[in-house]
């Protein structure tokens, strides 16, 4: 699957601009573009909603970065919180108490 390699995310003039490139295109030609979906979220729901949407993109693997930014640092902190375990799709604990495994078993009818 492809993902975006993100160099920079800026909010300016009530719009969200992303500087990045796709991971499967060579040579890399990082360019800046307006993310219309994130700009719409910013205009309708505000900055906090945009930050959550960007965090979801990083957490889901759609956005990746070669360095650190405020979103990747926030995810590092979140991953160490016990509350995050119920949302972490990467949970590797296969014991019966793992909420992710319970949901998987429920869907498969096990």
Are residues 48 and 17 located together in one domain of the fold?
Answer: yes
Are residues 96 and 50 located together in one domain of the fold?
Answer: no
Confidence class for position 17, pLDDT limits 50, 70, 90: very high
Output the average pLDDT for the chain: 79
Are residues 25 and 72 located together in one domain of the fold?
Answer: yes
Confidence class for position 44, pLDDT limits 50, 70, 90: very high
Are residues 55 and 88 located together in one domain of the fold?
Answer: no
pLDDT above 70 covers what percent of the chain? 75
Q: How many domains does the chain have?
A: 2
Are residues 30 and 65 located together in one domain of the fold?
Answer: yes
> Which structural domain range is residue 10 located in?
4-78
User: CA 83, CA 64: separation in Å to the nearest integer?
Assistant: 23
Q: Are residues 31 and 18 in contact, defined by beta-carbon separation less than 8 angstroms?
A: no
């Amino acid at each position: 699957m492809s993902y975006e390699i993100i160099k920079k995310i800026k909010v300016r003039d009530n719009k969200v601009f992303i500087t990045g490139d796709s991971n499967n295109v060579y040579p890399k030609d990082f360019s800046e573009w307006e993310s219309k979906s994130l700009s719409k979220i910013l205009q309708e729901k505000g900055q906090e909603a945009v930050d959550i949407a960007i965090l979801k993109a990083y957490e889901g693997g759609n956005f990746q970065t070669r360095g650190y930014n405020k979103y990747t640092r926030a995810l590092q902190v979140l991953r160490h919180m016990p509350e995050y375990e119920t949302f972490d799709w990467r949970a590797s604990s296969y014991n019966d108490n793992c909420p992710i495994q319970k949901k998987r078993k429920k869907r498969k009818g096990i």
